[in-house]
Structure 1
């Protein structure tokens, strides 16, 4: 019986491993060397091994006794994003906790015992969700005991600054002299955006919708070949995840975003990178303003509800 893979960390590393393999033009049958990937990604060999194990679980790698892991197909043909979008059995509970945190119903500092009583769930299930939130930078474990919510979540000015930062980084990535379109990944990204327009917008969970959008923007930046740009956008995606969860409730708004994403891909692929950079900068500006305005409106309505309940 195979041991259970700790997917929280493995799911973060697996796409990066594939990105590296694609950058190296690795082919089916080539070995995945723990030491090389660990050094490049700045982690120890143990988490890299977990990432390899997840790739094996997904059918993208195979493990040979006493030899290690090997790719089962050419890296250029792999799009791991759709394989990692499978529904988590704890997804509903995870989103319930997210909603309560975003609404301020979970104290800024809290203990596991408090949430176990609040949600009436087994400790193991709660720990899995808390670890996921910690990996996503929503919360962090305090020294000793207890957890603390990231102040960024309720700082509207930080959200605005995040989009301003992305407006500087992402268009600049498109204009990098070494920019090279990943044709296979672009085709897959266009297909996913079209599937959203064909109905997936109203079927997928908020976390899945956010992940699709984040992966598309990471793809566009990754093709710049600039590792510093890519690391910056990955960090931003991690920090803004929960603002995205709030905004994604209005799913009809995502229709125009998907259409704009497809147009952006077309501009880049046709070699009109200067036009694409301007289009992306404007896209981020508008989306950032809309999300910030919606968040402010939602917070005002929530405050009115709280004040109304107190007065009665």
Structure 2
């Protein structure tokens, strides 16, 4: 593959973490799937959500692509694509460290949902509860802090920030979302982001083909959260967007520990795709009804939770 098509110079890779090189390859594949054209803007926060990492490795990956001549940094615009990506390397398998991090995310979510981890914990307590090395724990806690799920206390303790942790809270969340999200699709200020739509559609279709494993719950939630947040952004209403972003944060741990089976994953993807199809056809009224149905269906999935203070594992 030519340098202009997005090749990564091996000398750059050797001087950079494997994570950044892997992310650079994944970004290339994403741009290829999107059929992105020159001038396409790469938004850091969107890439962070898509790949489930913090800004630092994303910036490193974008710098690799800039060194390869694929993207260019522009003042006040971040990075923009210089050349269409017609070819891209196969996305590398998740690194051993990345898989280890996702496994720990799932275990933390399970421990929180079952009440095994209190709202405030020392690092030593978490190492003992989770049977994990301190280095891995700190790496994952920093990721959770970037997502607004934990906060560091003075010293070596951590606070888990408020989340949906009871049956009643879950029911209230879905009741709120059924009022807000379908209405956003009918807002007079709604303007569909066509680039995002095609990107999200391709991502959903690709994810649907993957063989399920527990750690995919993290990626599934990231895709799910991005879908709901971006539609809220399309509404043009900052308060609606803030509400959806807040709900996404509150429900993170519930979804990282996925116990509802593969059929519900597939059903959710199909429901999302149907909403996107309706929006693409300009049928926002239909999309709004489908969103209402989708949230009702999702609510029924979670409804068997026991009415205890904490959700059982």
TM-score band by shorter chain is: 0.5 to 0.7
Does the CA contact (< 8 Å) of 1:210 and 1:241 recur in 2?
yes
Contact 2:191 2:236 in 1 (8 A): yes
Instruction: Give runs of aligned pairs for residues 137-152 of structure 1, distance below 5 A.
Output: 137-152=148-163
Relative to 1, partners in 2 of residues 1:202 and 1:141: Cα closer, same or farther, differing over 3 Å? closer
- Asked if residue 56 in structure 1 is aligned to residue 63 in structure 2, the reply is yes
Distance in 2, Cα, partners of 1:101 & 1:238: 15
Residue of 181, 188, 199 corresponding to 1:188: 199
Relative contact order, CA 8 A, sep 6+: which one is greater?
A: 2
Distance of 1:94 and 1:116 partners within structure 2: 13
Please give the alpha-carbon distance, in whole angstroms, between the structure 1 residues aligned to 2:297 and 2:122. 39
Question: Are residue 268 (structure 1) and residue 275 (structure 2) matched?
Answer: no
Looking at structure 2, the residues matched to 257 and 100 of structure 1 have their Cα atoms a distance apart, in angstroms, of: 25
| Separation of aligned partners in 1, 2:107 and 2:140 | 10
Q: Is the 8 A contact 2:109 2:254 kept in 1?
A: no
| Count, aligned residues | 268
Specify every segment of 5 or more residues in structure 2 that has no aligned partner in the other structure, as ranges.
Answer: 1-13, 24-36, 46-53, 86-90
* Cα RMSD, aligned residues only: 4.4
Rounded to whole Å, the distance in 1 between the matches of 2:209 and 2:127 is: 40
**Structure 1 length as normaliser, TM-score?**
0.68
Kept in 2: contact 1:206–1:248 (CA 8 A): no
Contact persistence 2:191–2:235 (CA under 8 A): yes
Is residue 207 of structure 1 aligned with residue 218 of structure 2? yes
Q: Is the 2:165–2:310 Cα contact (8 Å) retained in structure 1? A: no
User: For residue 125 of structure 2, what is the aligned residue in structure 1?
Assistant: 114
8 A contact 1:62–1:72 mirrored in 2: yes
Is contact 1:153–1:243 with CA below 8 Å preserved after alignment? yes
* 1:231-250 equivalences in 2 (<5 Å): 231-247=242-258, 249-250=260-261
SS of residue in 1 equivalent to 2:262 = coil
What's 1:253 paired with?
A: 264
Q: 1:94/1:225 Cα in 2 relative to 1: closer, same or farther (>3 Å)? A: same
In structure 2, distance between residues paired with 1:135 and 1:49: 11
Distance 2:257 2:40 in 1: 43
1:296 and 2:306 are equivalent in the alignment: yes
1:63–1:301 Cα change, 3 Å? closer
- 1:157 alignment partner, one of 168, 177, 193: 168
Q: 1:261 to 1:246 in 2, by over 3 A?
A: same
SS at match of 1:148: strand
Structure 2 distance, partners of 1:146, 1:4, is: 28
Name the SS for the 1:295 alignment partner: coil
Q: What TM-score results when the alignment is normalised by the length of structure 2?
A: 0.67
Higher relative helix content: 1
